Amino acid sequence: MSRIRACLFDLDGVLVDTARYHYLAWKRLAHELGFDFSRRDNERLKGVSRDRSLEILLEIGRLSVDAAAKQELAEKKNRWYVESISHMDETEVLPGGRPFLEELRRAGIRTALGSASKNAMTILRRTQLVDLFDAIVDGTKTARAKPDPEVFLLGARELQVEPQHCVVFEDAAAGIEAALRARMYCVGVGSREALNQAHLVVGSLAEMTLDRLQVFGYL
Ligand code: B16
Ligand code: MG
């Protein structure tokens, strides 16, 4: 078994719950466009890029708009979203996130962020998580969205660790597929039914310890 040398973390749904801010902004946009957008609909947007999220929203509202209008709508939603996350603070880190990152770093395991969000730096700064990462790969650095493995492969490359020595923590099915396509180990964070492709599933990072990485041959 290979030794684990790095852990890569998704942001929304693993370290912070920004899904609710995304939801409120998409819902406001849907209302402006004249239709409703439910929490159930919002599940389809988790881990998905901003552009693809807008396409899904327009599908739900049965609307078709040209490329320029799409860009305007995506920008409008993002302005509302950025306004909400600008009020975040360190209390919004999900349970177990900070202590687990600190434990990994004490043990010499490298850490990276692997998020689809173009707003990841703002969120990391607001929640005071920036210094806990050796590498930060977000939607501003990638060309292809999850389930493409690009975000995690780039993270591993920045950390100079081979994929077989990496573990990814993800809350979305698209992210788990991306991790598996990168040939990394994957821990699903959330419900077992939704994340059954992962090698291991935990309810939250509060259930994670260095010891539990032994299942991947940590020692
Ligand atoms: P932005 P993650 C993802 O973050 C969110 O889960 C997804 O809902 C969002 O559409 C995407 O980021 C893009 O975010 O509009 O801020 O660029 O889960 O990959 O950390
Ligand atoms: Mg996520």
Q: What is the pLDDT of residue 122?
A: 98
Under 8 Å between Cβ of 6 and 109: yes
pLDDT tens-digit readout, 41-59: 998 898 889 999 999 999 9
Report the separation in Å between the CA atom of 169 and the middle of ligand 1, taken as the mean of its atom positions: 15
pLDDT at 8 over 90: yes
* Average pLDDT over every residue of 26-31: 98
12 is catalytic: yes
User: What pLDDT does 217 receive?
Assistant: 77
pLDDT, tens digit (0-9, with 9 covering 90-100), for 133-180 = 999 999 999 999 999 999 999 999 999 999 999 999 999 999 999 999
Least Cα distance to 81 among 132, 120, 135, 133 occurs for 120
CATH level 3 topology of 19-85: DNA polymerase; domain 1 (1.10.150)
pLDDT at res. 2:
59
Boundaries of every domain in the chain:
6-16+93-216, 19-85
**Comparing 6-16+93-216 with 19-85, is the CATH topology the same?**
no
State the Cα–Cα distance between residues 100 and 109, nearest whole angstrom.
Answer: 11
Minimum-distance ligand 1 atom for the alpha carbon of 172: 18
Provide the mean pLDDT of the chain: 95
Task: Give, rounded to a whole angstrom, the gap between the first and last alpha carbons of the chain.
Answer: 9
Pocket mutation for ligand 1, best pick of 115, 170, 171 (most atoms within 8 Å of C-beta): 115
C-alpha of residue 115 to centroid of ligand 1, in Å: 7
CA distance linking residue 183 with residue 166, whole number of Å:
9
Cβ neighbours of residue 43 under 8 Å, at least 6 residues apart? none
Predicted pLDDT at 1: 47
pLDDT, tens digit (0-9, with 9 covering 90-100), for 191-203: 988 899 999 999 9
Q: Which residues line ligand 1 (CB under 6 A)?
A: 10-13, 22, 45-50, 53, 78, 115-119, 139, 172
How is residue 169 written in tokens?
């923590």
| Among protein residues, the one whose CA lies closest to atom 5 of ligand 1 | 47
In this structure, which residue's CA is closest to atom 3 in ligand 1? 47
Q: pLDDT (tens digit, 9 = 90+) per residue, 94-145?
A: 999 999 999 999 999 999 999 999 999 999 999 999 999 999 999 999 999 9
Assess whether pLDDT exceeds 90 at residue 219. Answer: no
Which CATH superfamily is 6-16+93-216 part of? HAD superfamily/HAD-like (3.40.50.1000)
pTM assigned to the model: 0.94
